[in-house]
Amino acid sequence: MGVAAVDQTHVTVLSWTYALPFGKGQSLASGVNPVVNEIIGGWQINAVQTYSSGTPLSFNGGTPLPLFAGVGNRPNRVPGVPIETGRSTFGKNWNPYTDNLFNPGAFTLPAPYTFGNAAAIYASVRNPFYLDEDVSVFKKFSITESTYFQFRAEMFNTLNRVVFGGPNTNVGDPAFGTMVNQTNTPRVIQLALKFIF
């Protein structure tokens, strides 16, 4: 019995809101004049932080079998040869276009019209983990008690992290073991002004 293709060992999602304690009715600088209060008061920070481990990988390669609607074949696993090369995707020395995560000698292509013996899924070899921080800053500008402007600055992928897409797992492909795609988007910042009445 193995893990599912969508298995993620660790998933953490944090959602929080913090109202800055400055200005009228707050613990700090509550006695300032109205003009200063409008500048330093009414600020709020919100965030959603997502951290999860990657899903397990499967390897393919060889002549597609004339079965199961022509779905591709699996390679043969070479006993005793580690799948991973031990290269780290962290640091300045990692080049996703040329550095290989997998040992090409760990698999061989099956003979035509034969089944490969590789496992359907390898739980120990996974896609890159996912890291994301979305942060928003709100500011309230009061007109009356129930009427105010709300300024919003929202930042998605605030730290501008690069999360690589899955590595190439097609045995026999010259790009086998490389990661050339980015699965997330670069930082996005949007500004908004709302009138609430």
Listed by start position, the domains of the chain span 11-196
Q: How far apart are CA 168 and CA 166, in angstroms?
A: 7
For residues 45-63, give the mean pLDDT: 92
* Per-residue buried b or exposed e for 76-105, using 16+ beta carbons within 10 Å of the residue's own CB: bbeeeeebeeeeeeeeeeeebeeebbbbbe
Q: How far apart are CA 47 and CA 135, in angstroms?
A: 4
Task: Spell out where the chain has E strands.
Answer: 11-19, 43-52, 56-57, 76-77, 107-108, 122-126, 130-142, 148-156, 188-196
Quick one: pLDDT at residue 58?
A: 92
Quick one: pLDDT at residue 61?
A: 86
Least confident of 59-73, 85-99, 124-138: 85-99
Q: Can you give the pTM of this predicted structure?
A: 0.78
- pLDDT at residue 88 tops 80: no
Q: Which amino acid is at 76?
A: N
CA 144 to chain centre: 42
